[in-house]
Amino acid sequence: MSALQIAFVHSRGPYDGPFAQDGLDAAMVAAAFDQKVTLVFVDDGVYQLLPGHAPAAIGRKRADEALGHLGALGVQRVLIDRASLDLRGVAAELLNLPAKPMEAGDIARFLETQDQVFVF
């Protein structure tokens, strides 16, 4: 059986409920089973890639810590919506992961090529 191409789209902030952590956990599980995983960050999801998270005050784990393990599991492709970065005043150089900024239309076309797309 060949590997599935699976995209995980992150559209919420890092501590906007369990979504960020759940999405990263799901991506890591898929990657551990040798699926071709791509992470896509749009809207407030781009905040997940910024350094310096300090969630202890709200009793949460650091969502950004899991990002460091993605490469070891084989997650090689990280895409980010250029307009989401621009709208929030975030420079791609500040992100925790090397992410490829793309236009929304290009991201949409990419997602059409995936076997599965999960949105968190």
DSSP for 81-97, please give it. EHHHHHHHT--GGGSSS
Domains within the chain, CATH numbers bracketed: 5-119 (3.40.1260.10)
* Whole-number pLDDT of residue 50: 85
Which of 83, 87, 96 minimizes the C-alpha distance to 20? 96
Assign 102 a pLDDT band (cuts: 50, 70, 90). very high
Question: pLDDT by residue (tens digit) across 52-89?
Answer: 666 556 566 656 566 776 777 778 799 999 999 999 99
Q: What is the value of pTM for the model shown? A: 0.87
Give the model's pLDDT for residue 59.
63
Q: What is the pLDDT of residues 7-41, one digit of tens each?
A: 999 999 887 778 888 998 899 999 999 999 999 99
